[in-house]
Structure 1
Amino acid sequence: MQRTALTSYAHLPRAHHDRHVLTSTVDVFGVAHWLLAERAPQPGGDVPPFDALVVSVHPDGHVERTELNAVRARWPHLDRLPDAGFVVAASRARRHKDANQVQVFDALGRETSSFSVGDAIEHLLVDETGHIWVGHFDENPAGIRRWSATGRLAWTSDDAAIPGLFDCYALNVSGTAAWACPYTDFPLVEIHPDRPVRVWSNRIRGAHAVAAHGDRVAFYGGYGKEQDRLAHAELTETSVKPTDAGLLTLPDGSAPGRRRAIGRGSRIYVQAEPFTAWGVFDLNS
């Protein structure tokens, strides 16, 4: 089976390896971010607010550090806003009052607002205009929604006629648009907030990240032994036509094991435990 190795993309500077990685992401402009705490969250009970550090590594290697004050999320999602502020959100809303689930911080790390986007966040990705796309897993029927950075609901999948949208397995946000591949039917969906949603039927099941470029798409992940699968396909008028499949490996050729994966346009970024480095696959390379 064909093996494709990720290209090394960004590394957390070694000076910060003594801190615990709460989460990490790559934003819409290609900057990698790590949200770090002094120690790992302890199981059970509420978490008192704590200060956290965001380390940002730009594609040219430039490093920024931003201290965030009074973070409340135990298992957070993170992304950066175009004004250099940050969004931190708790994946579960049950431990938080509605107004506290999502925290918005300015470029100096001060909280400027908070609001709720609903329980069971699977993906949280910010687009080029600063809107926040949220894909939910199956404990919340909200599906996919787009929010302003002040908590105004700007788009919802409720009336989008997306078949079998029970769990947003894969979400890719690039520019101001999104691609999704949701459970249970796994259609490929292209979402532009100002025009009707496009839907292609799809036989590739279980992917947790998707990349798109022109009429070509790639799906990463799957069930069981297909967790490292990289499947290529072409778009017809109404369906996804698989062309070939192989394995996506770390840059050294090994399997990722526990990993995070993020889709951004033509790129899929993958980060394996201990979550200090990002690799990238680019469908356009």
Structure 2
Amino acid sequence: MQETALEPYARLPRPYRDHHILASTVDAFGRALWLLTPGVPEEPPYDAVVVTVEGGRYSATELSAVAVRYPRVDALPDGGFVVAAARSRPSERQVQVFDALGRESWDFRVGDAVEHLLADESGALWVGYFDEGIFGDDPLSWPGLRRWGMDGEPLWRHDRADGGEISDCYALNVHRTHAWACTYHHFALLEVRPGKRTVVRTNPVRAAKALAVHGERITFFGGYGDDHDRLVSCELLGSEVKPLVTGRLTRSDGARVGRRRVVGRGPRIYVQEEPYTDWAVLDISP
């Protein structure tokens, strides 16, 4: 089976290696982020720091009074940050927006059971939900995939009549101001561009957890069981996804990829394995 190796991308700076990692991601501009506390935080609110790594250099921004448990984090184009809880009740503060100085600007809700939260280049938030939210009692989560303004304004929601039913948003790729998603249970590939009708393509690749898109090429990563490191290169043919080559994605040293986080951004899939101090990348654009 063909193997493709990840390339090292970004590393948590040494002064922060003894901190507790709450969340980590790669933003719309390719910057690696870590949300950290000196130790395991007590009950919210707590103070935290966002460490940003870009081109081998890093900066740190202190955040005051983070009010969410088990957070997601991303950066905004104005220099601020968004921190959001994956699980929440309607009465709870779920999403906090911080300015470039680490001060909270406002808070709002996006719904329960957040699987993916990715800010695009405009600062809008794309949120994909897992099944407990889609079939739960929070109507904000029912569409399965939504786009929100950074101030909490609802900008777009998936329409079943337009793009079919979403039972779980398995994979999400956000690039510039549009998104690609692979959803359960048919694993259709959705192409969403604001102001345009959703493009739905049939897709035989099952259970991918990340995807990368470049022109008419698309690559899926992940799957069930022993296919957790499967890599499937495909081409887009009208309303269909056609698989071309199936292989495995490996670490840079050739070993199999283990437990990890993944982020899809345009032609790149970023992979972060435990203990979550390093990001690696697969770029399908070369």
TM-score range, shorter chain: over 0.9
The runs of 4+ residues in structure 1 deviating greater than 6 Å are none
After the TM superposition, which residues 101-120 of structure 1 pair with which residues of structure 2 at under 5 Å, given as runs?
101-120=94-113
Counterpart residue type for residue 104 of structure 1:
V
3-state secondary structure, aligned to 1:165: coil
- In structure 1, what is the equivalent of residue 179 of structure 2? 178
- In structure 2, what is the equivalent of residue 27 of structure 1? 27
Counterpart residue type for residue 116 of structure 2:
H
3-state secondary structure, aligned to 1:140: helix
Counterpart residue type for residue 24 of structure 1:
S
- In structure 1, what is the equivalent of residue 137 of structure 2? none
* CA–CA distance in structure 2, aligned partners of residues 160 and 270 of structure 1: 34
- 1:48 positional shift: 2.4
- In structure 1, what is the equivalent of residue 79 of structure 2? 84
1:160–1:196: 8 Å Cα contact kept in structure 2?
A: no
- In structure 1, what is the equivalent of residue 50 of structure 2? 54
* CA–CA distance in structure 1, aligned partners of residues 74 and 175 of structure 2: 13
* CA–CA distance in structure 2, aligned partners of residues 31 and 48 of structure 1: 27
* CA–CA distance in structure 1, aligned partners of residues 69 and 24 of structure 2: 14
- 1:38 positional shift: 1.8
- 1:40 positional shift: 2.8
* CA–CA distance in structure 2, aligned partners of residues 264 and 15 of structure 1: 28
- In structure 1, what is the equivalent of residue 232 of structure 2? 231
* CA–CA distance in structure 2, aligned partners of residues 163 and 230 of structure 1: 26
The question of 1:131 aligning with 2:127 is answered no
Structure 1: runs of 5+ lacking an equivalent: none
- 1:154 positional shift: 0.3
- In structure 1, what is the equivalent of residue 205 of structure 2? 204
1:163–1:185: 8 Å Cα contact kept in structure 2?
A: no
* CA–CA distance in structure 2, aligned partners of residues 30 and 71 of structure 1: 24
- 1:160 positional shift: 5.5
* CA–CA distance in structure 2, aligned partners of residues 78 and 249 of structure 1: 26
- 1:212 positional shift: 0.6
1:164–1:186: 8 Å Cα contact kept in structure 2?
A: no
Matched-pair identity in %? 54
The question of 1:217 aligning with 2:213 is answered no
* CA–CA distance in structure 2, aligned partners of residues 41 and 166 of structure 1: 33
1:41–1:74: 8 Å Cα contact kept in structure 2?
A: no
- In structure 2, what is the equivalent of residue 36 of structure 1? 36
- In structure 1, what is the equivalent of residue 60 of structure 2? 65
- 1:159 positional shift: 4.8
- In structure 1, what is the equivalent of residue 3 of structure 2? 3
* CA–CA distance in structure 2, aligned partners of residues 105 and 160 of structure 1: 36
Superposition TM-score, scaled by structure 1 size: 0.95
1:169–1:182: 8 Å Cα contact kept in structure 2?
A: yes
Count of aligned positions: 278
* CA–CA distance in structure 2, aligned partners of residues 222 and 41 of structure 1: 33
After the TM superposition, which residues 145-160 of structure 1 pair with which residues of structure 2 at under 5 Å, given as runs?
145-159=146-160
- In structure 2, what is the equivalent of residue 187 of structure 1? 188
3-state secondary structure, aligned to 1:168: strand
- 1:136 positional shift: 0.3
2:162–2:197: 8 Å Cα contact kept in structure 1?
A: no
1:85 to 1:202, Cα distance in 2 relative to 1, 3 A: same
The question of 1:75 aligning with 2:70 is answered yes
Superposition TM-score, scaled by structure 2 size: 0.95
- In structure 2, what is the equivalent of residue 273 of structure 1? 274
3-state secondary structure, aligned to 1:34: strand
* CA–CA distance in structure 2, aligned partners of residues 227 and 186 of structure 1: 16
* CA–CA distance in structure 1, aligned partners of residues 121 and 255 of structure 2: 34
- 1:39 positional shift: 2.0
